[in-house]
Chain A
Amino acid sequence: MSGFGNLYLDSMRAYVRRPCESTLRPAYELGRDAVQRELSVLDLAIAHHDGLARALSDEPAAPEEQERLVRAAGDFFLEALSAFDMVQRGFREARDSALVERRHSAQLRQLSDFLADVSLAAGVSGSLDEMLRLVAEQARELIPAVCCIVAIGSEDNARIRVASFPEDSPRWQAFVRWVDLSHVGAMVRSAGRPIRLSAEEIAPYVGVPAGGSTPALVLGGWLAAQLTALDGRPIGSIHMMNRRDGRFSELDQAVLEHLAQLSSAAVERAGHYGSEHSSRPRM
């Protein structure tokens, strides 16, 4: 540290005596050097303040000259700190990524609990609609979307089985009655993975009913995934509309993919359970 401190003092002195880019550059190099030596910002601050005190005592000057000297030393310090700022930004970015990952893990745990609920619903009541309602409601919990629609059936005869949206919204009610999912369904099938569309991208494929006396519904974005049987057959699709706080993200897309996989298994299981149940002789 003393070697670094002496180097800092010498370089700062050179700069305050003759402030220019070539005498300022060592500050940037010293900042990088400090980061690479893993010195802390406090070490740099100590080096700076010690250096400034020495410079002021070694070179007594008139008050206005002292002010100039202190300002120049401040510029030198700022330059050295820029390397720390660069690294600090990296730490912040890493922290933000860790937060997203933590949120993702929590969502996956929630998904796992949800799977248990779904199995229970399918096993106890045997009602596919009840299970799909759970899927739609849970999907709106995990991905904060205004509306979720689940359609069941192969490509030609898929039809909307359940939808979840704010109960007091006649616009969404009308939309769900009216919407034709065939274009989006075909897009998901051809993509072979969940698709994420912005308002502009979805507009040509899905219209919205006229609002009548109320303002028409505005589609803000669309997320869709296919439900697939174990043998690869399409057995339906799940659609999310209008994220509550902005655009659907890659993370939303990944969560919907998990949800679609879990739901596909549950739908297939419910189908098997239903057919076994109905083929049993009634006692």
Chain B
Amino acid sequence: MEDEVRVAVETDDDLVTARAEGRALAQRLGFQRPDPTLIATAISELARNLVMHAGQGEIIMRSLREERRHGLLVIVRDEGPGIRDVDAALRVGHASRGSLGLGLPGARRLMDEFEVDSRLDEGTTITMRKWRVRDELELLRERRERRQAT
């Protein structure tokens, strides 16, 4: 069963909800410390940007599942002004907030995969994933459960 959470983000207070949901989902998926904290931090960075630049938007968090790994997908989307130069925005030093490696470049570094799709005057969708490698025991247990179920 796919685990999905959606959080509408409009005010600074919504950051708390988004962080809590992201952290809780990471823990449910078996991410070990400090990963849930890092995931919550990446969500916070993007949610801050969203409130600041677009005013409102949505954060979708979903579990990912592959044979050898589990993961967490986070989609942050808005219908704001868009990012004029995505490559520049991902570089450290682009904006004052990102000058020390916080903001967009900071979030990118905390996650395993990071994609930005932005169109001027249409909005921005950021998709990021973090993976957790599954150990052999867990895989064996799942295979046994599948065999028993069939």
List the interface of chain A (C-beta within 8 A of B): 20-22, 24-25, 28, 32, 35-36, 78-79, 82-83, 85-87, 89-91, 93-94
Contacts and interface: CB of A to CB of B under 8 A. Distances in A.
Looking at A21, A35, A83, A85, the one whose CB has the most chain B CB atoms below 10 A away is: A21
A244 B106 CA distance: 34
Contact of B92 (A24, A79, A90): A90
A87 B34 contact: no
B128 interface: no
A71 to B, nearest CB: 11
Contacts of A86: 41, 45, 101-102, 106-107, 109-110
Given A90-B92, A91-B101, A83 B41 contact: yes
Given A86-B101, A89-B109, A25 B34 contact: no
B34 A78 contact: yes
A47 B17 CA distance: 27
B83 to A, nearest CB: 19
Interface in B1-37: 15-17, 19-20, 23, 33-34, 37
Contacts, number: 65
B102 A83 contact: yes
A85 B34 CA distance: 11
Nearest to B15: A25
Interface in B89-140: 92, 100-102, 105-107, 109-110
A206 B23 CA distance: 51
B63 interface: no
Residue of A22, A86, A87 ringed by the most chain B CB atoms within 10 A: A86
A22 B109 CA distance: 25
15 contacts: A21-B19, A35-B100, A35-B102, A79-B37, A79-B40, A79-B41, A82-B34, A85-B34, A85-B110, A86-B106, A86-B107, A86-B110, A87-B106, A89-B101, A89-B110
